[in-house]
Amino acid sequence: MTRILISGGGIGGLALAQALRGAGYEVAVYERDPAPEPRNQGYRIHIDPDGNAALAACLPPDVLDLVRRTSGANGDLVAAYTHRLEQVMAQTFPNTGDEAITCVDRYTFRQALLTGLQDVVRFGRTVTRYEVTGSGRVRVEFAEGGSDEGDLLVGADGVGSAVRKQLVPHATVRDLGVRCLYGRMPLTPDTDRLVPADFDRGFSWVSDDTGYGAGFAPVRFRTPPPTGVADYLMTVLVGTPERLGLGDEELFRAAPQQLWRIAVDATSTWHESVRELIAHADPGSFFPITIRASEPVAAWETGPVTLLGDAIHTMPPTGGVGANTALRDAQTLAAELSAGKPLLEAVAAYERVMLPRGFEVVEGSLRMADQMFGRAVRSQAS
């Protein structure tokens, strides 16, 4: 039986593992995290129609149903405002009905994707390198010791991918010079009244002319998830390190409460309704992230090692398409592998689709980042 090794048990790696298991492959996922606990990678993930199609293709019906039941209530609006809360852009979307998934909580989503994979995913295993054996198989090695061998290795190990660094060492990831301070405001009967009606309808972007922007989006679970995560409003402050007043070393060492304080101060002259949302956010929920984008990479010679998701095409979260693109990669790779072609032909067919598609999506996200953050970055540079 063909044995497939997946480095990374994030969104793309787990969706692929589900699809390949369903298609009868022997799969082993190696995940660096010691356990499937929440980590600082954001709270709310927007799922688009492509992501829905990929989830429907990859997941067994019971897992898809769990993801849907524990997703957030559908929104229908993306809007932008000045810091005085004057609307400058609004785009509405038709209500897609209860079948469609439009947003998920990252931790709850990951837990649902793990359903039924307990014997497949090994936590606390960091892939450090691989070697193609004389017989054309692949052996991976782990930082914790030990190794494993399979017919194909899929690097689904995110932006810092160890597999990418070995397979395409010339690939580069660019720092866009923007930092985000992510946090969330618990939605309780007390805080519910603080959320402007339109902010409850999807994603809202507020910006001033001093180089700060802030995003807001609710997750109101359709049914309470088994993870125990309760409804919240995602709150994120965006600015350059200069505008935030902290270099990276300090920023990434700062306590969550200090980051929350920066967000409170940054928005202190904004409309009261926006200030309230940051002021009532959970100070312990804040963490910083760097906004990055992969530079396009030319196709490489196909072999028994390939890449998927952020490992090859990282993009800024603007547009909310990184996870959706990782899910599409999983769908395409699983479909090619299941089509009965020889293994390397299937991998080549996947790479022919994945590479141009992934970098086209990166380009679109960069255009949107320029629209949203450009002013923040440019006002700092001048």
Ligand X SMILES: Cc1cc2nc3c(=O)[nH]c(=O)nc-3n(C[C@H](O)[C@H](O)[C@H](O)COP(=O)(O)OP(=O)(O)OC[C@H]3O[C@@H](n4cnc5c(N)ncnc54)[C@H](O)[C@@H]3O)c2cc1C
Question: How many angstroms separate the Cα of 109 from the Cα of each of 46, 98, 122, 301, 310?
Answer: 11, 17, 18, 34, 17
Q: Is 264 left (phi over 0), alpha (psi -120 to 50) or beta?
A: alpha
- Which residue's CB is nearer to ligand X, number 252 or number 271? 252
- Which residue's CB is nearer to ligand X, number 169 or number 193? 169
Nearest approach in angstroms of CB 245 to ligand X is 21
- Which residue's CB is nearer to ligand X, number 271 or number 357? 357
Residue that is written with structure tokens 């998920």 in the block: 104
Q: Is 377 left (phi over 0), alpha (psi -120 to 50) or beta?
A: alpha
Nearest approach in angstroms of CB 84 to ligand X is 26
DSSP 118-129: TTTEEES--EEE
For the record, the structure tokens of 222 come out as 């359709």
Residue that is written with structure tokens 């017919």 in the block: 151
Nearest approach in angstroms of CB 106 to ligand X is 7
Rounded Cα distance, 225 and 349, in Å: 38
- Which residue's CB is nearer to ligand X, number 162 or number 254? 162
Nearest approach in angstroms of CB 162 to ligand X is 4
- Which residue's CB is nearer to ligand X, number 96 or number 273? 96
In the complex, which residue's CB is closest to ligand X? 10
- Which residue's CB is nearer to ligand X, number 26 or number 141? 141
Nearest approach in angstroms of CB 126 to ligand X is 4
Q: Show the DSSP H helices in 205-342 as ranges.
A: 241-244, 248-253, 256-266, 272-279, 322-337
Rounded Cα distance, 132 and 147, in Å: 13
- Which residue's CB is nearer to ligand X, number 9 or number 304? 9
Interface ranges with ligand X (CB under 6 A): 7-13, 30-33, 41-42, 45-46, 126-127, 156-158, 160, 162, 182, 289, 309-311, 317, 320-324, 326
Q: Which residues are within 8 A (CB) of 98 and not within 5 positions of it... i.e. 6 or more apart?
A: 68, 74, 222
Nearest approach in angstroms of CB 321 to ligand X is 5
- Which residue's CB is nearer to ligand X, number 144 or number 345? 144
Residue that is written with structure tokens 């991998």 in the block: 347
Across 49-69, b (16+ Cβ under 10 Å) vs e yields ebbbebbebbbeeebbebbbe
